[in-house]
Structure 1
């Protein structure tokens, strides 16, 4: 019996910087998961993934990740995706470095 389709987002890594990025409904890439397009139709998800995979000059490793609708946009359903969206596991770079900066 086929599995029921669950909502997805298209995610990849930025080719030049390595950051985790997400495809928006406006066909742009964002580093903010809450801006990602939450796809609820399996056929549409496959088309969006194929579109993303063609962008080899911008991204690498595109795939569909499970997500759910949250208050502020899509939210991950799996630990791996939650971990990926926070950036490197080392506070010396990326998103986590910004989180340690004092606010003015």
Structure 2
């Protein structure tokens, strides 16, 4: 399983592709379950890069753990949550404040 991720060009925010738009939380991301859907996401990412909407476009490997999306690579887990030494910063802090 894979997701399409990038950084939004306007502000550098880590984003994920979901149903026609770039979203700020990994939980909303569209999951590619097969080669065909992975290729479709890759094409979408390449077009968004060409349109100067995002940079650093990547398909990343994920797994589902207890019903939640869990990136395989540490780099992607940090991009999805925020700094590893400051839980009061980044996306992880936004989630805590909303609860």
Structures share fold, TM-score greater than 0.5: yes
TM-score normalised by structure 1 residue count: 0.73
- Cα RMSD for the two superposed structures: 2.6
TM-score normalised by structure 2 residue count: 0.76
Q: Which runs of 4+ in 1 moved over 2 A?
A: 69-74, 87-101
In the alignment, what sits opposite 1:35? 28
Task: Please show how residues 15-94 of structure 1 align to structure 2 within 5 Å.
Answer: 15-24=9-18, 26-55=19-48, 56-87=51-82, 94=90
Between structure 1 and structure 2, the one with the greater Rg is 1
Return the offset for 1:38.
1.1
| Cα distance between partner residues in 1 of 2:89 and 2:45 | 26
Note the residue ranges of structure 2 that are not aligned, 5 or more in a row.
none
Question: Deviations along 1:38-96, whole A, 9 cap, x unmatched?
Answer: 11111220221111221133111111000112445422122111111123568596436
Query: Which protein has the bigger helix share?
Result: 2
Secondary structure of the residue aligned to 2:52 is coil
